[in-house]
Amino acid sequence: MDAHNLNLPEHYINRELSVLEFQRRVLALAGDPSVPLLERLKFLCIVSTNLDEFFEIRVSGLMQRREAGAGTSGPEMMSAQQALNEIGIKAGELVAQQYRLLNDEIIPQLGDSGIHFIRREDWNEEQRAWLRDYFRHQVVPTLSPISLDPARPFPRILNKSLNFIVGLDGIHAFGRPCDRAIVQAPRSLPRLIHLPPGLTDTGENDFVFLSSIIHAFVDELFVGVKITGCYQFRITRNSDMYVDDEEVDNLMRAIEGELASNRYGAAVRMELAHNCPDDLARYLLDVFELDEQDLYRVEGPVNLNRTLAVYDLTDREDLKYPPFTPGLPDVVLDTPSIFDLMSRQELLLHHPYESFSPVVDLISRASKDPDVVAIKMTLYRAGEESTIVDHLVAAAQAGKEVTVVVELRARFDEAANIAFANRLQEVGAHVVYGVVGFKTHCKMTLIVRRENEQLRRYAHLGTGNYHPGTARAYTDYGYFTTDDDLTEDVQNVFLQLTSMTQTPPLRKLVQAPFKLHDHLLRLIENEISAANSGGTGHIIAKINALVEPEIIHALYRASCAGVIIDLVVRSICCLRPGIPGVSDNIRVRSIVGRFLEHSRVYYFHAGGKEKLYLASADWMDRNVFRRVEVCFPIEQPQMKSRLMADLDLCLQDNMGAWELQSDGSWSKRQPGPGEEPVSVQYSLLEQTADQRLSS
């Protein structure tokens, strides 16, 4: 097919609409009766959190483009207004489904299981008295109800905070009529109040929403005035951080300033109680300069993600996924020192099935080992209380050369990253804040150790973050090596990040933003050449997102040449599979389950030589052009076989996998007649359990 025809707009899926399709797949887990009940609630709340970020970043960007009068963009050639119209419809359907699941399935079934959310109309006299006392002593002192008056501007509403618009009828204390007021609930207040066991005969797990308490007793805030209505609402604001790369002279100060201002960015969405009168809804829309399509009416708590507190407030392990203990290969258990192990062989770990502890142990031992002279590390996300940062601090205090490349612009982790960067600087570590204009997203550690009068390098490379918490929830690979070529490449990339100079030609690492994009296109082109010559062409990629147009175009060309292409894409996929004459040979799957699929693995048949890579990069414009990423080959035969087995499980999965259709919709895979059920996540969990038993 003519290359131009491969680039037709109808051959591409809009990125934002693909994001919403991913949320639909996550929401399906909240509606799956085979998933434990509290986990279903968690998935429901995860969708809410994801939608918050979607509106804060993606929708806000579309609104800015619309206001700027921008035309169509992206390979699908959709205008900002067209995208916003589609988002309004699809996001509205998602939100409606969320609250149907909450009200019709999850809350009733939790009640049947002994966890109750007690509505105002169901409070008995004793409960009402206790809750009134709670309101007066725990809530009222934190509130500042504001009557709206010509002399008073509408109060500033914090991003994603819980608020109430109150209808009033009467004359206030200073003799003027009042008809509206705003009550803002501070974030310090819990959104779920756990009732004392003595107040109910239904058990120990009875809860009342803070919004219900404020609704019930709001009249006590407006003495002498009639309350005509009280309705909760929540505003989502633009939270995309803008730092002018040309003007900034201190990145940390610039980001700290943006963090403060982002709490009150432009409004992009309003969630409002379903029963709020239209006149009040229109009033609020006018105040926040929003359109009708930006309004989402909800029947339940507007801050749905805060409902997840019940997960930790109840001791009900029977309603959660069974706990598991990550495994460790025997070779790790049998070797007292990670340095001894790495000096003998390479190591590949698959988290969370295998423990993240060897990664932490590597940094811990390096911080204490008198023979270690230097530690270099990239930190994109590490968490607010990071044991890895603690070990780096200890290493610096022990006099070792510690260099940490901190990415301050890791979205929504900026404050935590600033905090641990300050800690490291205070003890004398060399802290570098990435590269202006390019996020440092690669995951690398280099340890330099003096052995027999010479320096030896030890490296860890990963597909995920150095965050022990997410290592239990995200699937990622971690690779430990002393390979001379690879560790020298890692050393040179660190030198580049600190000195900003060019690296010598890298021997094994492939780095973005310099070489990765061209390298991927060349690997795809090699598969096309093999297929055109009558040989086998096969590509497998497990990534989080596929957006970059040139890569998609190359995959279409490969499909036309007869290359078999299997893509496992967790969330965003702008490629359309199954288009006759364009993408007949491309299959796209997405695996959604207990763990967040996060690892990036690339496979190319390469004329039978089979090239396998692990990487920090997805196939997106930002990853290949605007981030510092690394891609590294896995060459050891046993490790390659293991990665291929994992990929094969992904392709066989018929329990947690969805398949992308050419119209952009996703269909859940099911075991066919006589076909065994296969779940890659459960299979790997079972392998971990077998590994522990055999040990």
Last residue of a domain, one of 508, 527, 543: 508
| Residue 378 placed within a domain | yes
Whether residue 191 sits in one domain with residue 86: yes
User: What is d(CA 692, CA 333) in angstroms, rounded to the nearest whole number?
Assistant: 11
Of 508, 526, 545, the last residue of a domain is 508
305 plus 366 within the same structural domain: no
Query: Based on the domain organization, do 262 and 351 belong to the same domain?
Result: no
| Predicted confidence (pLDDT) at residue 206 exceeds the cutoff of 90 | yes
Q: How many domains does the chain have?
A: 3
Residue with tokens 């076909």: 675
As a dihedral over the C-alpha atoms of residue 609, residue 611, residue 612, residue 613, rounded to 10 degrees, the angle is: 160
Whether residue 325 is contained in a domain is answered as no
User: Within a domain: residue 49?
Assistant: yes
Please report the pLDDT score of residue 436 as a whole number: 79
For the question of residue 441 being annotated catalytic, the response is yes
> Tens digit of pLDDT for each residue in 557-588?
999 999 999 999 999 999 999 999 999 999 99
pLDDT in tens, 367-394: 999 999 999 999 887 777 789 999 999 9
**What six digits make up the tokens of 510?**
């492939």
178 and 57 share a domain? yes
pLDDT the model gives residue 200: 75
Beta-bridged to residue 312, according to DSSP, are none
Q: Are residues 289 and 340 in the same domain?
A: no
**182 assigned to some structural domain:** yes
Is the predicted pLDDT of residue 444 greater than 90, yes or no? yes
Q: Are residues 281 and 380 in the same domain?
A: no
Which of helix, strand or coil describes residue 376? Answer: strand
Q: Is the confidence at residue 267, as pLDDT, over 60?
A: yes
Considering the domain architecture, whether residues 314 and 338 belong to the same structural domain is answered as no
Q: Which pLDDT belongs to residue 244? A: 45
Residue 312 lies in a domain: yes
- Bigger pLDDT: 380 or 159? 159
Label residue 226 by pLDDT band (50, 70, 90).
Answer: very high
Q: What is the mean pLDDT of the chain?
A: 91
In our burial notation (b when 16+ CB lie closer than 10 A, e otherwise), range 601-640 reads bbbbbbeeeebbbbbbbbbbebbbeebbbbbbbbebeebb
Q: Which of 441, 517, 538, 553 is catalytic?
A: 441
Does residue 567 sit in helix, strand or coil?
Answer: strand
* Contact partners, residue 485, CB within 8 Å, separation at least 6: 507, 508
pTM for the model: 0.92
Verify that 348 and 290 share a domain, yes or no: no
CATH code for the domain in which residue 683 is found? 3.30.870.10
491 plus 549 within the same structural domain: no
Q: Is residue 551 domain-resident?
A: yes
Any idea what the CATH number is for the domain that residue 227 is in?
Answer: 3.30.1840.10
Same domain, 551 and 626: yes
Asked whether residue 249 is assigned to any structural domain, the reply reads yes
Domain that holds residue 32: 3-319
Judgement on whether residues 347 and 243 belong to the same structural domain of the protein: no
Q: End of a domain among 508, 541, 558? A: 508
352 and 307: one domain? no
Is 324 part of any domain?
A: no
Q: Which of 54, 47, 51, 163 is nearest to 101 (CA)?
A: 47
Per cent of the chain over pLDDT 70 is 94
